[in-house]
Every structure is written in structure tokens, then in C-alpha cells.
């Protein structure tokens, strides 16, 4: 609140500084080191992958054990989405349920190509067809973890359906990077779990930056 809201510091800049300034501590035993690594991983998952939770709960003046438990419950429930989707959810997984304008698609295309989420460079028209689930040919994943990180970010901001993993599987939109066949919801779920445990690469920070830019474009269009 002090840095982002009162001092107008960029959110991602704050998040990176916070993580970098809490990497080390004085304990030498393995149990304390593991506990610290676990707690830092939770904070990473909150700051980078679940910004909506941060914006909802962190401004509360009284942060007691109950409110902290509520934050962790929301995080755990989202991160542990069941791999088997029930029938009610399957009905909601027909498409991404998004309504982006062309500027957003252009920025998403820039992210896909700059961060190498998929094999080869994609055009904006191909990306539009992807989000409308109308691809002539599936695109091939370059890194499932990066794909999961990006789409999870869109879902956290309510720009696409929370069942985006099932949408990708159901419409056979993406080919696996190493094995034959199409990416499944289980593939993406496993990648997302790995992402929540460790966020450190420069590509991942770049993806977060693109997500921030996409949010700004959408907010600017809503104001107009």
C-alpha cells in the first residue's frame, strides 16, 4: 500500500523488489531453510500469479490469523483445481469467453512471439482465431509452464474463463512440445503447479510485464 498506492511504484517493480529483498535469512538448519523457501514461494504465487487476491485482501487494516487463512484458502483452492472437470464445468468450457479488441490481440501476439510461448512466430489473425477457438491448424507449445503462467494471469483478471485449460484441451488448440498429441488440461494443470512453486526466470518476469501492459490497454479502452 505504501509503495504502490501512495508512492505510485509499479506493481511488478514492487513485487520483484520484495522477493529479491527476502531471499536470505540467518537460520542454518535445513528445516528453517525449507520453511523459508516454502513461505517465499507462497508470496511469489500471490504477488505474481494472483494479483486479484492481493488487491482484495492486502488493503485490509487488520491482518489477523483468520484473514491470512482466508487468503491462503483462496490461493490453495485456485491452485488445486481438480484435474477431472465435472459436467457443469464442462458446459462452461466451450470457449474462452473473451471480448478483446484488436490492440489487445496485437499485444498478446507480441507477448507470444517475444517470450516464445509457442513454436514459430504467430500473426495477430492467428491469435484471434486461437481465442475464438477457430484455428485451421493447432499451434505447437514451446513451454507449457510459460503458457500456463500467461493464461492463468488472464483468468485471474477475469479476462477469460477460469476453465481455460479445458477450453484448450477440448478444442485441440495446442500440440505438445516434446510428445505427440494435443495438450490436455492435466498437462497445463501440472505446469501451473510448477509455476506456483518457482517463479524466477527472466522470461517469466517478461510475461508478467506483458500481462500488466494488457491490463492497461483494457482499462484504457473501458474508460473510453
Residue 181 has pLDDT above 60, yes or no: yes
**DSSP SS3 for 174:** strand
Tally of CA atoms within 13 A in the half-sphere of 135 that contains its CB: 21
pLDDT at res. 100: 94
Can you name the residues that pair with 140 across neighbouring β-strands?
A: 175
Determine how β-strand 139-140 pairs with β-strand 174-175.
parallel
Asked if the model's pLDDT at residue 84 lies above 60, the reply is: no
Q: Which of 198, 220, 155 has the alpha carbon at shortest distance from 41?
A: 198
User: What are 18-45's pLDDT values in tens digits?
Assistant: 888 888 888 877 777 777 877 887 788 7
Q: Which of 163, 166, 122, 160 is nearest to 141 (CA)?
A: 122
Per-residue pLDDT tens over the stretch 118-149: 999 999 999 999 999 999 999 999 999 999 99
Claim: this prediction has a pTM higher than 0.75 = no
Check pLDDT > 70 for residue 117: yes
With bands split at pLDDT 50, 70 and 90, how would you rate the model's confidence at 46? confident
Amino acid at each position: 500500500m505504501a509503495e504502490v498506492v501512495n508512492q505510485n511504484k509499479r506493481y511488478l517493480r514492487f513485487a520483484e523488489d520484495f522477493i529479491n529483498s527476502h531471499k536470505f535469512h540467518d537460520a542454518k538448519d535445513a528445516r528453517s531453510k525449507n520453511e523459508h523457501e516454502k513461505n517465499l514461494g507462497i508470496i511469489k504465487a500471490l504477488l505474481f500469479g494472483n494479483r486479484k487476491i492481493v488487491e482484495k485482501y492486502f488493503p485490509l487494516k487488520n491482518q489477523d490469523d483468520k484473514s491470512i487463512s482466508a487468503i491462503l484458502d483462496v490461493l490453495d483452492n485456485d491452485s488445486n483445481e481438480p484435474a477431472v472437470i465435472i459436467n457443469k464445468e464442462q458446459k462452461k468450457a466451450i470457449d474462452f469467453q473473451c471480448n478483446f479488441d484488436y490492440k489487445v490481440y496485437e499485444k498478446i501476439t507480441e507477448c507470444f512471439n517475444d517470450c516464445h510461448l509457442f513454436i514459430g512466430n504467430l500473426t495477430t489473425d492467428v491469435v484471434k482465431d486461437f481465442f475464438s477457438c477457430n484455428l485451421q491448424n493447432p499451434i505447437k507449445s514451446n513451454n507449457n509452464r510459460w503458457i500456463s503462467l500467461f493464461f492463468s494471469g488472464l483468468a485471474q483478471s477475469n479476462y477469460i474463463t477460469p476453465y481455460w485449460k479445458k477450453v484448450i484441451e477440448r478444442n485441440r488448440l495446442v500440440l505438445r512440445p516434446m510428445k505427440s498429441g494435443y495438450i490436455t488440461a492435466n498437462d497445463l494443470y501440472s505446469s501451473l503447479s510448477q509455476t506456483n512453486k518457482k517463479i524466477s526466470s527472466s522470461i517469466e518476469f517478461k510475461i508478467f510485464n506483458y500481462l500488466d501492459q494488457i491490463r492497461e490497454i483494457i482499462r484504457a479502452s473501458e474508460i473510453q
